[in-house]
């Protein structure tokens, strides 16, 4: 019995010393360690993201670092595997002692690790917020609008810019995130006073003809859509819907998808950052130069990576005194809004229990197998 007490005391002492060690998180003279959880293998692949974040950090380090300390990115691949994602977050926080996470791009990170970030008082600035939890957590604030803000912007574009009276929505919604899309539709109704002519948030796999026929019967003039592109347009064409405006979500904004849209169909896509296909747009010049110099793929995700790294560096530069996990978290919660030309609204983390600072979208149109950037800048619901 006595022995048990002794070992219990030893364990307690060890835990105490470890806790103390953990509390000193990242301070001192060594490199500033920054974590990121990225999908590199698996179904959701964004290998360009950590490369682009590293490129920004190297640029800062070459110019002397921050307060003389170098930035070091520790990126972990979660392969879209929940157990690996959880383990990656714990390792980054407990073993690597990162001061914050910047430039994450994983389809499962936010939902799984939000509680870990809150408990450890560490902030995450994802390059790409994929799942809904990225926009509803106290310690996460991505640099993209995400599905909800984007949907409101797409509806606003359909009703106010394209001036379509009968706006419809055909969405595939992940289980558990349906409420968020309903909220996005409600927000559009509040701003414009308009309602949808037809709504289907359960678009599934298989032949899309049935959904298109329902749209036709409802007299839809504009249809928001976020699922597989090819068969949708092939069948819409068969059903004679050449006069309908189809507005696609950012996930469809790829070169391959542009090629699948028949030339006589009208398709727009809402982008999250300045359209990546045109490097001359505001904010894109810096990104294009950086990724070209480092041989990184030009994608929308690499834009998010450069932006999250830039924002992170800017906020770090405002910290007076030692850069630790505590001071970084405090700096983000108290930061002033940063105007970043690649997006529609200023970025701010701030206090609060949910963050979705970036609103609005810029629209592109499918044209001759590619995407044409439309004039008029960002559409921010209620503001433009």
Partner 1 sequence: MVNSVIAGLTSGGGYALLGLCVVLTYRLVAVVNFAMTAVGAMGAFIMVSLTDKGWNVWAALVVGALSAALLSGLLGAALVRWFAGHRERTKAAVTVALFVALSAIGLRLFGGNSTGAHRFPNPFGDPVFTVGSVVVPQSVLVSLAFALLITLAVGLLLTRTRIGLKLQALSERPSTAEVVGIPAPRLAVGVWAGVGAITMLVIVLVAPRLGGDFGALSGLISTALAVAMVGAFRSLPLTLAGGLILGCLEGMSSSVDSIQKYQGVVPFLVILVLLWWRSRREVWDTAHSR
Using CA atoms of 204, 207, 208, 209 in order, give the dihedral in degrees to the nearest 10: -140
CA 266 to chain centre: 27
Residues that bind partner 1 (CB under 8 A): 43, 45, 200-202, 204-214, 216-217, 228-231, 234-235, 237-240, 251-252, 254, 256-257, 259-262
Shortest spacing between CB 286 and partner 1, in angstroms: 25
Shortest spacing between CB 291 and partner 1, in angstroms: 17
Q: 65 and 71 in contact (C-beta within 8 Å)?
A: yes
CA 263 to chain centre: 30
Shortest spacing between CB 257 and partner 1, in angstroms: 5
CA distance 338 to 384: 20
Shortest spacing between CB 177 and partner 1, in angstroms: 13
Q: Which is nearer to partner 1, 68 or 206 (CB)?
A: 206
Q: Which is nearer to partner 1, 40 or 60 (CB)?
A: 40
Q: Which is nearer to partner 1, 71 or 261 (CB)?
A: 261
Please choose, from the candidates 280, 340, 266, the residue with its C-alpha nearest in 3D space to the C-alpha of residue 310.
340
Please choose, from the candidates 121, 173, 113, 127, the residue with its C-alpha nearest in 3D space to the C-alpha of residue 148.
173
Q: Which is nearer to partner 1, 38 or 329 (CB)?
A: 38
CA distance 28 to 268: 50
List for the chain the helix, strand, coil content (%; round to 5): 40, 15, 40
Shortest spacing between CB 233 and partner 1, in angstroms: 8
Shortest spacing between CB 224 and partner 1, in angstroms: 17
Q: Which is nearer to partner 1, 221 or 327 (CB)?
A: 221
Q: Which is nearer to partner 1, 25 or 257 (CB)?
A: 257
DSSP 80-143: T-HHHHHHHHHIIIIIS--SEEES-B-SSHHHHHHHHHHHTT--EE-SS--SGGGGS-TTB--S
Shortest spacing between CB 212 and partner 1, in angstroms: 8
Helix 300-317 and helix 325-333: axis angle, to 10°?
100
Q: Which is nearer to partner 1, 206 or 321 (CB)?
A: 206
């Amino acid at each position: 019995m006595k022995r048990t007490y002794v070992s219990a005391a030893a364990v307690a002492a060890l835990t105490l010393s470890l806790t103390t060690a953990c509390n000193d998180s990242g301070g001192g003279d060594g490199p500033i360690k920054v974590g990121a959880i990225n999908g590199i293998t698996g179904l959701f692949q964004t290998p360009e993201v950590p490369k682009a974040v590293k490129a920004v950090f190297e640029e800062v380090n070459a110019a002397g670092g921050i307060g003389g300390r170098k930035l070091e990115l520790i990126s972990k691949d979660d392969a879209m595997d929940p157990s690996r994602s959880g383990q990656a977050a714990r390792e980054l926080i407990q073993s690597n002692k990162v001061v914050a996470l910047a430039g994450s791009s994983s389809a499962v990170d936010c939902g799984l690790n939000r509680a870990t970030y809150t408990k450890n008082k560490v902030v995450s600035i994802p390059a790409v917020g994929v799942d809904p939890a990225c926009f509803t957590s106290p310690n996460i604030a991505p640099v993209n609008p995400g599905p909800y803000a984007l949907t409101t912007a797409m509806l606003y574009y359909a009703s106010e810019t394209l001036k379509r009276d009968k706006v419809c929505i055909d969405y595939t919604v992940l289980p558990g995130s349906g409420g968020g899309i309903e909220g996005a539709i409600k927000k559009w109704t509040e701003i414009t006073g308009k309602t949808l002519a037809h709504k289907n948030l359960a678009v599934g796999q298989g032949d899309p003809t049935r959904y298109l026929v329902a749209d036709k019967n409802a007299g839809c003039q504009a249809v928001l859509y976020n699922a597989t592109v090819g068969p949708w347009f092939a069948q819409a064409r068969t059903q004679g819907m050449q006069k309908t405006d189809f507005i696609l979500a950012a996930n469809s904004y790829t070169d391959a998808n542009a090629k699948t849209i028949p030339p006589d169909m009208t398709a727009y896509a809402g982008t999250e950052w300045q359209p990546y296909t045109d490097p001359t747009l505001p904010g894109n010049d810096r990104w294009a130069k950086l990724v070209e110099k480092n041989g990184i793929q030009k994608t929308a995700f690499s834009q998010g990576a450069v932006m999250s790294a830039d924002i992170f560096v800017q906020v770090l530069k405002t910290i007076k005194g030692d850069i630790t996990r505590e001071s970084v978290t405090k700096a983000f919660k108290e930061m002033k809004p940063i105007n970043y030309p690649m997006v529609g609204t200023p970025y701010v983390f701030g206090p609060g229990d949910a963050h979705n600072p970036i609103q609005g979208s810029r629209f592109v149109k499918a044209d001759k197998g590619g995407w044409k950037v439309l004039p008029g800048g960002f559409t921010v619901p209620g503001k433009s």
